Structure 1
């Protein structure tokens, strides 16, 4: 038995039938999108990903399942639609520059996953660390009195902490001090860990903590603590780099003392932000508050999201979101990173690149490159599926 595989031109009837089926299918997608619109669900395309944002309690388990199952259809529908005038779904497509950063309280982990983690949308959670002892004890004077003799490195300079705190307290908008960052709490201040318990609810199922995950150029102890770091700076100090977190990791910044202004840019605005190179997480723009538009003319098109984070508040900065900060007062904060199913693909790409670069010498780089990339990518794909199976929310 054999089949005749010769190609023939479809008849007019067949063409009409195919078109009719396609139109009917598109209508079904249109109806589903309309249903989402009536629920005030906002959708947008970010790269090749479908992103969404919805009012609390709107997306039922069934609707979320339908969105996952029909993701490719919705992506195709949105890509063919002109949000300005093509159809009634213009208000459905949320432009990043029109978003806001909400402040929310009493946020369940399930709602965090569905409304912020999976859609990769930043949020400020006002009561996530309400039980931390640090909120009532950590002040610049506290660190000066109890840890003044500790040595810290700030911008490649060594200080006794008491001397750096003096600079923090004297810092002004006109003469800001340097920024204490990259300071490992478990390594340098292990006794402070008791002050920042319980562990942040929204960081559960953090894959950075998996012993199966190897990350080059990362301190294994820091990785096992989700890169938990102490941040201290004075009024007027700015974080020195517009960036997104390395390996496309999510970031939680818990503000313990003082107020800090965050400026964020969605990943879709990357083309306006002058990354150092195509794979870099750092911008060439030295100061977004005093940018040279002659040198960086596209930056004029970038629209920031700004929010002031106050003591006791936690900001979630999703994977790939560019951000920087400015201190409004002397400030003490804690930062940690997080890896979940929502940023696993981007993380895997970054990690694969770094592993290949670290394992391949210049002499045989080209001959081993393809094999290494294939093996590493396959391993991470399998590891991602395994870790996803352990997370009931994915």
Structure 2
């Protein structure tokens, strides 16, 4: 049994009008293959270049182990200089990842290496961020708390991406009071006996190579596996409708804080309770008897 996934379409010479009409407005993902070809980043961005430009900056790293007991979600595993992290990446497989490295705050000269694409979309220019991961590392299935439209540019290495639209949320074992699927589920090799609803969910997949630009619509679920050590940059377009802004505020101000408070109060019991609820709700949505 396999996940029900179709390929994300790949396009070249995509006009602004075509992008808006065919992908942005209907909220469909697409990979634009030639969007970065004229950027300096397309030629320059490799690990040695980042070592030279940002090697001394101390960065927080995260590993693949789920938070346990009274730990906050997304706890930092270690902090080391970016250059040392690059050495680790080049030595071989590691589950250490770096995310949300803000170029504006940490290394503003790198902003000169790329352009904001003319796609008819308003970008939030204070938040161009890097995502870096070691070979074999994985990012749990989730959607972004700020509900941004993401433009994900892959520059170093290769990664596998699985996407699901919001209407498939009921089949993805979404954990209550969170924006993630159950962390124990490996979407790269799911256990369909334990999590049979996944076989009913309909999604998309792609493998991103150097220069590929992936558009991930707002509220879409994404799972990422770093096939090799990889570095990507994301540009964000934030939601503008009152309904989505209200949902973002609820995510940021209530859901995240409530979850962390309950973790501190109840520890592992709270995590186990949420996971049980995720399974019960998903199986009910899928018409699966317990």
Aligned: 1:201 with 2:108: no
Match of 2:14 among 96, 107, 131: 107
CA deviation after TM superposition for structure 1 residue 199, in Å: 1.2
Q: CA RMSD in A?
A: 2.3
Counterpart CA distance in 2 for 1:303 and 1:202 is 27
Counterpart CA distance in 1 for 2:227 and 2:193 is 29
Counterpart CA distance in 2 for 1:281 and 1:355 is 11
Counterpart CA distance in 2 for 1:356 and 1:331 is 32
Instruction: Evaluate the alpha carbon distance shift between residue 142 and residue 205 of structure 1 in structure 2; reply closer, same or farther with a 3 A threshold.
Output: closer
Instruction: Please name the residue that 1:26 is paired with.
Output: none
**Is the Cα–Cα contact under 8 Å of residues 146 and 251 in structure 2 kept in the other structure?**
no
**Is the Cα–Cα contact under 8 Å of residues 171 and 177 in structure 1 kept in the other structure?**
no
Match of 1:253 among 113, 138, 152: 152
Counterpart CA distance in 2 for 1:294 and 1:356 is 36
Counterpart CA distance in 1 for 2:89 and 2:109 is 23
Instruction: Evaluate the alpha carbon distance shift between residue 169 and residue 270 of structure 1 in structure 2; reply closer, same or farther with a 3 A threshold.
Output: same
Instruction: Please name the residue that 2:97 is paired with.
Output: 179
Instruction: Evaluate the alpha carbon distance shift between residue 188 and residue 234 of structure 1 in structure 2; reply closer, same or farther with a 3 A threshold.
Output: same
Question: After TM superposition, which residue ranges in structure 1, 4 or more long, deviate above 4 angstroms?
Answer: 354-358
Structure having the larger proportion of residues in strand:
2
Instruction: Evaluate the alpha carbon distance shift between residue 103 and residue 346 of structure 1 in structure 2; reply closer, same or farther with a 3 A threshold.
Output: farther
Instruction: Evaluate the alpha carbon distance shift between residue 178 and residue 303 of structure 1 in structure 2; reply closer, same or farther with a 3 A threshold.
Output: same
CA deviation after TM superposition for structure 1 residue 339, in Å: 2.9
CA deviation after TM superposition for structure 1 residue 238, in Å: 1.5
Task: Spell out, residue by residue over 1:72-121, the C-alpha distance to the aligned partner (whole angstroms, 9 max, x if none).
Answer: xxxxxxxxxxxxxxxxxxxxxxxxx6754111011111111110001110
Instruction: Evaluate the alpha carbon distance shift between residue 340 and residue 160 of structure 1 in structure 2; reply closer, same or farther with a 3 A threshold.
Output: closer
Aligned: 1:284 with 2:284: no
Aligned: 1:160 with 2:81: yes
Counterpart CA distance in 2 for 1:345 and 1:273 is 27
Instruction: Please name the residue that 1:379 is paired with.
Output: none
Counterpart CA distance in 2 for 1:99 and 1:145 is 40
Matches within 5 A, 1:128-143: 128-143=35-50
Instruction: Evaluate the alpha carbon distance shift between residue 306 and residue 356 of structure 1 in structure 2; reply closer, same or farther with a 3 A threshold.
Output: closer
**Is the Cα–Cα contact under 8 Å of residues 143 and 221 in structure 2 kept in the other structure?**
yes
Instruction: Please name the residue that 2:262 is paired with.
Output: none
Counterpart CA distance in 2 for 1:346 and 1:281 is 17
What is the total number of aligned residue pairs between the two structures?
Answer: 237
Aligned: 1:337 with 2:242: no
What's the TM-score once normalised by structure 1's chain length? 0.56
Aligned: 1:306 with 2:224: no
Counterpart CA distance in 2 for 1:169 and 1:351 is 37
Counterpart CA distance in 2 for 1:165 and 1:351 is 34
Aligned: 1:348 with 2:245: yes
Structure having the larger proportion of residues in helix:
1
The structure with higher relative contact order (CA 8 Å, sep 6+) is 2
Instruction: Please name the residue that 1:275 is paired with.
Output: 174
**Is the Cα–Cα contact under 8 Å of residues 183 and 231 in structure 1 kept in the other structure?**
yes
Instruction: Evaluate the alpha carbon distance shift between residue 275 and residue 149 of structure 1 in structure 2; reply closer, same or farther with a 3 A threshold.
Output: same
CA deviation after TM superposition for structure 1 residue 303, in Å: 3.5
What's the TM-score once normalised by structure 2's chain length? 0.74
Instruction: Please name the residue that 2:106 is paired with.
Output: 188
Q: Unaligned regions of 5+ residues in structure 1, if any? A: 1-96, 210-223, 359-394
